[in-house]
Amino acid sequence: MAKAKALLEFQLAMIKKENNILYIACISGGKDSTAMLISIRKYNLPVDYILFADTGVEFDEVYKTIEDIDIWAKEHLSIGITKIKAKHDFIYYLTKYKRKRGKFVGKPYIFPTPRFRWCTWVLKICPMRKFAHKKVKELNKDDYIFYIGYRPDEIQRLRKKQHKEIYPLVEYNINNTLDICLEEGFSFYGLYEKFTRISCWLCPFQSEKDLYILKKYYPEKFKYLLELDRFQRKTTGHGFGFRYNNILEKINITF
C-alpha cells in the first residue's frame, strides 16, 4: 500500500504541473464514481472527458442517474458525459457470441466468474482504453490518465493499482460516498434503499439477498435472468450457468 500511495502522490503532483496529458473520469452511475466526480470539482482537478461504458444491462434508475450526472457535470465541470459501448452488449456475449479459440470454440461466453471476469474487461476497460488511445492521437497528447472511483477501504482493488489510474477518493480519504452524493442532490432513484450494492442487474457477483430483492422489485428482469441461466447450462459446454449453486432456481421456488 505504501508503494501505491507513493505512486498516487506522484501522479497527483504531475496534475498540478503544466503537462500534455488527457484526463478522463470513468463513471458507472453508482455512488462511488459519482462522489469521485464531486471530489474532482471540489479539489479542482483537471478533467477532459467523463466516460460511461454502457453494458446494455444497467438498471433504468442508473440510466436516469447518468442523465442527472450529465446535467450536473455540464454545470459544474463544463463538460457532459460521453457514452461508449463495446462491440456487443452483455446479453449478446452470453447468447450469440461465438468464441474463436480454446476448448469451447463456437460457444458463447459463460457468466463471469471470479477467475474469468471477462465482463469488466470486454464491456468497460477495452472500450475506455480504445477511446483514450484514439483521443490521445487526435488531440496530439502525450498520454492519458483515468480517474477511477475506488474508495480507501477497497484494499483488494488498490493492490491491482494501474500506472495510468488515479483514485481521488483514496487520495482525499473519502469513504462516505453515498452521503456526499445525497448532499449534492443525487438520489439514484431509490436503488441504494433496496440493494446493498449496485451493479448490472444480471451480475453473478450479487449477494443472495440482492437476488431476492431483484425478484421482488424487478420480477421481469429476474425471470429473464433465470431464462439466461437455463440457456447457459444447456449451450455453453460447461454445464453451469449463472452460478454453480443453482441459486436462481432456489429463489424462484422458495420466494
- Residue 85 falls inside a structural domain: yes
Do the domain assignments include residue 205? no
> Range of 109's domain?
2-193
Query: Domain of 102: which CATH number?
Result: 3.40.50.620
Report the distance separating Cα 225 and Cα 98, nearest Å: 20
**Residue 254 located in a structural domain:** no
**Domain presence at residue 177:** yes
Instruction: Answer yes or no: is 20 within a domain.
Output: yes
* pLDDT for res 9: 58
Examine residue 211 and state whether it is found in any structural domain, yes or no: no
Does a structural domain hold residue 184?
Answer: yes
What's the mean pLDDT in 25-52? 96
pLDDT in tens, 2-33: 544 555 555 565 555 547 999 999 999 999 99
The residues near 8 (Cβ < 8 Å, ≥ 6 apart) are: 166, 167, 170, 171
Query: Which one is predicted more confidently, 53 or 236?
Result: 53
Mean pLDDT throughout 98-116? Answer: 87
Contact criterion met (CB below 8 Å) for 87 and 109: no
Contact 139, 23 (CB under 8 A): no
- Convert the pLDDT of each residue in 175-216 to its tens digit: 999 999 999 999 999 999 999 889 999 999 999 999 999 999
Does any domain span residue 232? no
Dump pLDDT digits (tens) for 58-92. Answer: 999 999 999 999 999 999 999 999 999 999 999 99
136: pLDDT strictly greater than 70: yes
List 22's β-bridge partners, or say none: 144
Name the nearest CA neighbour of 49 among 169, 122, 144: 144
Domain total of the chain: 1
